[in-house]
Structure 1
Amino acid sequence: MKRKLLGVIDATTYHEDLEDLLTHRSLAALPFAGRYRIIDFVLSNMVNSGIRSVAIFPKMQYRSLMDHLGSGKNWDLNRKRDGLFFFPSPIVDNDGNKIGSFEHFAANMDFFKRSTQEYAIISNCYTVFNMDFRPILDWHRHSSCDITEIHHENGSSMEMYLIKTSLLIKLLETRNETGYTCMRDVVQDFDHQYTVCHYDYNGYAVMIDSIENYFSTSMNLLKTDVWKQLFLKDSPIFTKVKDEPPTKYVKGSFVKNAMIANGCVISGTVENSIISRGVKIGKGAVIKNSIIMQKCQIEDNCYLDSVILDKDVKIEAGTHLTGSARSPFVVRKGMKQGALMNS
């Protein structure tokens, strides 16, 4: 298996509905569940499936992504042979919502030609799921498929494709003659000469493509049944390890049904919320149904309900911010929000 399947992650996608959270980062690097990034899920799935060579194709705003992944050590991908590879796009104006741009891949043709893996799994970077790709490869081979497109149980495409590496190279080399620009073009062309199969996945999977969707998916993690479908003991989700002290709960603080990462100082109330590393919540502050990202500071006597605070946000004392499940109140990275600003 180690030499049979090549991992390819398209990290170029940009969803306008997530604009407030993508100003300083790519979608792949979007924080999730307090201590993860969105890309951690597909990357961990690949590693857990025995894949030892993974290529990531980002486009813009990928500094935070590269900082997060580094050499791939936390995913056991810092290897002398194979390992983790980055291939930033030389094309600025390509369509960011087509998974697996053939132009982007073709600009790095040597990588695919040097790969020793017989098959490649091409995936988007923004699906929250826990999947073993090995049964899909077995099914693909026994079904004599040329291309397998993975579908969710509701029938929608998960924008993940399994294909022989040699066929992928052929598609890249003939893209100008065929007019195919990505994998979607191939599978949706009724006149192609390939056997295209659909593999139905019935596990938990959500594609993050809007603020509302990101918020609801995050809040659902607070439900035990959802958490157990996503974070499996035998198939862990890996992420960048940071050495930080345990969270400190000051006398008088109150926490109920919340996920709180390391390095926080909690002096107020937190309910039904996700709190990332290094967050400080002041005395008398109340945080409900919210997502608070890394190193935010919420001063005394604030009230936040259905709010998303991006990293390094400061909320001044006495500030009240309220959103809703369908329209959470979003504060962009590094901003300061005060009571007078909301009056």
Structure 2
Amino acid sequence: MIMKKVLGIVNLHSNASLGQITRNRPIASTSLLGRYSFIDFPLSNFANSGIADIGVLIKEKPRSLFRHLGMGKEWNINTKVGGISLLYNEQYANNNAYNHDINNLLENKWLLDNSRANYVIIAPCHLLFTMDYTKLIEFHEQTNTDITVVYKKVDNAKNHFIGSSFIVKDGEYLSTIRTNKGDKNHRDIFMETYIMSLEKLKAIMNCGLETSQFFTIKDTIAKRAKEEKISLYEYKGYLRCFDSESSYLEYSLELLNLDVANQLFTPSWPIFTRTYDTPPARYGVNAKVKNSYVANGAIIDGEVENSIISRNVRVKKGSKIKNSIIFSHSIIEEDAYIEYIVIDKEVRVRFVKEHIGSLDNPLVIRQGDVV
């Protein structure tokens, strides 16, 4: 059933970066598992929850995102009652201090002015999770507060989620939001996901502007927590924060483990993405593939182990790839050895045949390079 009175917003105004991997693209349009892009997950969460009216707040590097999303038809959005609106703030695109979510919404204020939504749900893209927002809406409606924020209890915050935000509780309400510096394992990680009324979002924006021209929605909610009750919704599913080259490699390869993948992917919650008319992968007589994901259009005649091979990649005879990710249209020539490497699109490994990184410090070969 289409939820006509909910506006979904994907907020790409995050400082998270994947290093060289996001040099020419945002995290939102970065490849995941050789098939998806990160933005497919928040869009699918909205679509599967019956939310058809969606805005995407774009911070930077919009070209690849425009190309990936197109008209938005792949995400099962009923365009008769909604659609996907791409919102970009050109005025502050090159000024990081002013290029934040509140200013983007002000620049594109028609989205809120034209909306008839009772509720707005805001979600990020660099935090990977699946969530049924109908349950969040039901929870929020049972509270006596104007805002509900989402968090997850974790026990690995000393080594993960460094630089992410965590919440401090005041009983069952929000006290404040702080930055995780890795000094404790047990944290309530703030998932940068909120639900509030349309009018409350407008009030939050006004409060932010009155406080500081640099304030974001998150900054303003942290400030408002000292003056009003803000409810907390605990999420208990799969959550990973992609915010570095090493986290990208580690968490992507982790999804080759079926037990982990089943936490993110379930038959009842499809992840929609853009489809391509490419033939099935082809395997030569020398091909050996173990515990790997190989996308359509790939041609494999070497050895691939515990790796992710994207569309139209070619791995030639004698080459060995281990614990690595190869983006689309790249060519690995004969007798190469690749381990703990992220190879971007349209790369050709031709002259320097051995490339070895580590899980904590992977080597990234930039888009279009010949090495």
Q: Are residues 1:170 and 2:171 paired? A: no
Contact 1:13/1:27, CA 8 A, preserved across alignment:
no
1:30 aligned residue: 30
Question: SS of 1:87's equivalent?
Answer: strand
- Residues 92 and 99, structure 2, Cα contact 8 Å, conserved in 1: no
Tell me by how many angstroms 1:173 deviates: 3.6
Structure 2 gaps of 5+ residues are 155-187
Q: 2:290 — aligned with what?
A: 256
User: Are the equivalent residues in 1 in contact too, given 2:326–2:344 (CA < 8 A)?
Assistant: yes
Secondary structure, counterpart of 1:239 in structure 2: coil
**1:296/1:314 contact within 8 Å kept:** yes
Aligned to 2:259: 225
SS of 1:71's partner is coil
Whole-angstrom distance in 2 between the partners of 1:50 and 1:261: 29
State the shift of 1:125 in Å: 1.6
Cα deviation, residue 195, structure 1: 2.2
CA contact (8 A) 1:303 1:320 kept: yes
Q: Is the 8 A contact 1:109 1:169 kept in 2?
A: no
Distance 2:106 2:338 in 1: 48
Q: What are the within-5 Å matches in structure 2 for residues 263-278 of structure 1? A: 263-278=297-312
Give the Å deviation of 1:174: 4.3
Query: For each residue in 1:287-327, what CA deviation from the matched residue of structure 2 results, as whole angstroms up to 9, or x when unmatched?
Result: 00000111110000000011100111100166000011101
3-state SS, counterpart of residue 189 of structure 1: helix
* Pairwise CA distance, 1:95: 4.0
Matched AA of 2:114: R
| Cα distance change on mapping 1:268 and 1:64 into 2, 3 Å | same
Of 89, 94, 103, 2:96 maps to 94
- Higher mean displacement: 114-123 or 183-192: 183-192
Taking every aligned residue pair, what percent have the same amino acid on both sides? 34
Partners of 1:9 and 1:34 lie apart in 2 by: 22
Partner of 2:3: 2
CA contact (8 A) 1:14 1:27 kept: no
Which residue of 2 is the match for residue 159 of structure 1? 192
Kindly indicate whether residue 237 of structure 2 is the aligned counterpart of residue 203 of structure 1.
yes
Shifted more, 220-229 versus 311-320: the winner is 311-320
Aligned position for 2:180: none
In 2, the alpha carbon distance for the partners of 1:13 and 1:64 equals 17
Structure 1 contact 300–318 (Cα < 8 Å) conserved: no
Q: CA deviation at 1:78?
A: 6.3
Separation (CA, whole Å) in 2 of partners of 1:11 and 1:315: 33
- For 1:168, the aligned partner's letter is L
Task: Give the Cα–Cα distance (whole angstroms) in 1 for the partners of residues 208 and 16 of structure 2.
Answer: 26
Cα distance per residue 1:18-70 (max 9 Å; x no partner): 22011211121111111111111111111111100100111321100110010
Aligned to 1:336: 370
SS in 2 for 1:86: strand
Distance in 1 of aligned mates of 2:314 and 2:98: 36
Change (3 A) 1:96 1:203: farther
Distance 1:193 1:78, change over 3 A: same
- Structure 1 residue 191, shift from structure 2 partner: 6.3
Letter in 2 for 1:8: I
Tell me whether 1:75 sits opposite 2:55 in the alignment: no
8 Å contact from structure 1 (residues 12, 96) kept in 2: no
- Counterpart of 1:341 in structure 2 is none
Tell me if structure 2 keeps the 8 A contact 1:301–1:317: no
1:310 aligns with 2:311: no
Q: TM-score, normalised by structure 2?
A: 0.86
Partner of 2:164: none
The answer to which of 275-284 and 117-126 deviates more is 117-126
Question: Are the structure 2 counterparts of residues 216 and 263 from structure 1 closer, same or farther at C-alpha, using a change threshold of 3 Å?
Answer: same
Comparing 309-318 with 326-335, greater Cα deviation is found at 309-318
Report the TM-score, using the length of structure 1 for normalisation. Answer: 0.93
Q: What is the CA-CA distance between 1:127 and the residue it aligns to?
A: 1.9
**Which of the residues 218, 222, 225 maps onto 1:184?**
218
> For 2:275 and 2:249, how far apart are their aligned partners in 1?
24
C-alpha distance in 2 between matches for 1:334 and 1:229: 34
CA distance in 2, matches of 1:240, 1:36: 8
Equivalent position SS for 1:135? helix
Which residue pairs with 1:149 in the alignment? 149
How far did residue 4 of structure 1 move? 2.5
Alpha-carbon spacing, 1:224–1:97, altered in 2? closer, same or farther (3 Å) = farther
1:248-283 alpha-carbon deviations (Å, 9 max, x no partner):
000121000000000010000000000100000000
1:319 counterpart = 2:319: no
- Counterpart secondary structure, 2:220: helix
1:11-26 alignment runs, 5 A limit: 11-16=12-17, 18-26=18-26
CA 1:203/1:245 → structure 2, altered by over 3 Å: closer, same or farther? same
Contact 2:6 2:118 in 1 (8 A): yes
Which residue number in structure 2 is paired with residue 340 of structure 1?
A: none
Asked if structure 1 preserves the Cα contact closer than 8 Å seen for 2:205 and 2:217, the reply is no
Q: Which amino acid aligns with 2:4?
A: R
Q: Which amino acid aligns with 1:274?
A: I
Q: What residue in structure 1 maps to residue 40 of structure 2?
A: 40
Per the alignment, residue 235 of structure 1 pairs with: 269
Provide the residue aligned with 1:140 in structure 2: 140
Give the whole-Å Cα distance in 2 for the aligned partners of 1:116 and 1:194.
25
**Which letter does structure 2 place at the counterpart of 1:210?**
S
